[in-house]
Amino acid sequence: MSDLLTLRNVTKRFGGLVAVNEVSFTLGAGEVVGLLGPNGSGKSTVMNLISGELPATSGSITFDGTDIGPLPPHRIAKLGISRTFQLVRLAESLSVRDNVIMPLAFASPHVWGRKARRRADAALERVGLGGQGDMAPADLNYIDQKRVELARAIAPDPKLLLLDEWMAGLNPSELRTAIELIRGLGDTGITIFLVEHIMEAVRELCPRCIVANAGSVIADGPTEAVLSTPDVRRAYLGEAADV
Ligand SMILES: Nc1ncnc2c1ncn2[C@@H]1O[C@H](COP(=O)(O)OP(=O)(O)O)[C@@H](O)[C@H]1O
Ligand SMILES: [Mg+2]
């Protein structure tokens, strides 16, 4: 398996707070890896550093042979990294299809017009929203809005997909649908890095997981082995996570 993404000693400070502390790990091409940890442990910040939403304070991030540390989000997206956000972010004034088309303008190569429309409709189809491109996001229920976010992330055909608690807030049957959807994407060979609190999803989707606590990586390895280590169990005490 070739390396796709490597973080080396990445640190992010917000004033006096060290949100991410000397974090290092590598994702191999085609892996599906979970990022776990209690609230405030720096998971979303790691996602934001990889996608370029935030610059690192120090350390390096290499994606597919390129040092992406200094690059802005649209350049990083163009190299093949897509993401969803912890809170759904859809443009309410645009149709579902146009929400999915938008990032295609930044894709490499750019996709416009009828081709973009076809690509968006194919992505909507893949996430289970076939034929609903003309709807307004506000007319969709919560899981369908999450599906639009996923369609928007996969439409540019990224090499790496970052999902930040994409399954949070789903009911049990929606969760099953969501797990199968992500599994299907993983099966196509796309590399997926997902922040997730739902252990059922982590266990089913991620052969490997990385655990963060207070900004540091405290475990990285095969999921079942990682979840049974004393440090990880301690990190979750009082978090009511079903580790
Ligand atoms: N933009 C920001 N400005 C200041 N502090 C932040 C910012 N983003 C996150 N933090 C802080 O960094 C820490 C890690 O946050 P976050 O990465 O969101 O954790 P998680 O996603 O694991 O819950 C928290 O203490 C949070 O308050
Ligand atoms: Mg978070």
pLDDT digits (tens, 9 = 90+) for 48-92: 999 999 999 999 999 999 999 999 999 999 999 999 987 778 899
The pLDDT of residue 111: 78
pLDDT for 113? 85
Nearest CA to ligand 1 atom 16: 42
User: Could you give the CA distance from residue 133 to residue 125 in angstroms, rounded to a whole number?
Assistant: 9
pLDDT of residue 237: 58
52 in contact with ligand 1, CB cutoff 6 A: no
How many whole angstroms separate alpha carbon 162 and alpha carbon 154? 10
Question: What Å distances lie between residue 11 and 159, 216, 224, CA to CA?
Answer: 24, 9, 28
Question: Which mean pLDDT values do the consecutive 10-residue runs of the chain (243 residues) have?
Answer: 95 97 98 96 97 97 97 94 87 94 80 89 96 95 94 95 94 94 94 94 97 96 94 70 50
Ligand 1 atom 9, closest CA: 45
Task: Answer whether 45 contacts ligand 1 (Cβ < 6 A).
Answer: yes
Which class would CATH give 72-159? alpha beta
Residue nearest to atom 17 of ligand 1 (CA): 42
Can you give the residue ranges of every domain in the chain? Answer: 1-43+58-70, 72-159
Residue 25, CA distances (Å) to 46, 221, 233, 241 in order? 11, 11, 21, 24
- Pairwise CA distance, residues 21 & 180, whole Å: 33
Q: Is the CB of 48 under 6 A from ligand 1?
A: no
- Ligand 2 midpoint to CA 87 (Å): 9
- Tell whether pTM > 0.85: yes
Ligand 1 in reach of 43 Cβ (< 6 A): yes
**CA-closest candidate to residue 231, choices 211, 203, 208, 209:** 211
